[in-house]
Amino acid sequence: MVETLPVCPAPDPQPVAPHFAVPPGACDCHAHIFADFARYPLQANRGYTPAETPLPALFDLHDALGVERLVLVQASAHGTDSRAVLDAAAQHPERIRAVVAVAEGITDRELEDMHRRGARGIRLNLVDRGGMPFRSLAAVKDFASRLEPLGWHVELLVHVEQAPELEELVRAMPVPVSVGHIGYTPARVGLDDPGYQRFLGLLRDGFFWVKLTAPYRISAAERSPYADVAPFARAVVEAAPERVLWGSDWPHVIMRGRPVPNDGDLFNLFAAWVPDAEMRRRILVDNPARLYGFA
């Protein structure tokens, strides 16, 4: 029953200030919005019920952090109804791009319309209920040929260490593939895990983009600084600095009893993982501009 789904707390409204110089054009490459549920209803087949977190609240956060660009990622709670992220991107074409969720039956005309409204990729959530609208990963590979003319990519939420089939998929894909949450491998598994090492090898070989997002989702610690995640973050930056992105994962849904992190703390944690200012600029500005098509 929908009524038994966990209800997510609201994010911390008072982010601490960044402790580093945020470069102009910095991009939050992974955030969600939830608002106006009468207009943008949640799907029944979902794993959680989010708090209302509208776009103006996210803009307030970005203004406090000095972040100028945004990639809104379709949340599994909305299924394949991507209107919320598309409407936001269409209203702010210089500032926002969208990663949408689509069904296999979508037409090329519909994809082209989404592109005009700011979409630059599709998301497949292989972890949370309601997030995988395709029959299989093989079907995704076949579908991806339709994304290539648009310059889109495929974003996966997947535990990379548990998915050896990703190697065959990513080698055959005609478009880039990104993964969230540093690969979504629990830190307790360890950096030397064979599955994660396989992922790092593919990353070094030019496959995958990876997002430095949501350390609280893979850490054994309840609160920042999530020290056990640092080796994973540094490993992906070392493996492919030209294909690493950062995102807030705001508003931090499905915390499963953990305290909601402060977004300023998370941003400062990124700076601790990446102490070199030029590398931070690359991850925050240059890499997102290439993948998402910011001018």
Return the structure tokens found at 280.
Answer: 């931070």
SS3 58: helix
Mapping DSSP to helix (H, G, I), strand (E, B) and coil, where does residue 44 land?
Answer: coil
Question: DSSP letter string over 224-288?
Answer: TT-GGGHHHHHHHHHH-GGGEEE---TT----TTSPPPPHHHHHHHHHHH---HHHHHIIIIIHH
Angle, alpha carbons 43-49-53 (nearest 5°): 105
CB atoms within 10 A of CB 275: 10
- Distance between CA atoms of residues 237 and 190, nearest Å: 17
Whether the bond into 231 is cis, omega within 30 of 0: no
| Helix pair angle (263-273, 55-65), 10° resolution | 50
Two structure tokens written together for 267:
């941003």
Tokens standing for residue 176: 């880039």
Could you give the C-alpha distances from 42 to 30, 75, 88, 140, 241, in angstroms and in order? Answer: 19, 10, 17, 24, 36
Between CA 271 and CA 5 the distance in angstroms is: 35
Cα–Cα dist 96/70, whole Å: 5
Catalytic residues: 249
Cβ(144)–Cβ(175) below 8 Å? yes
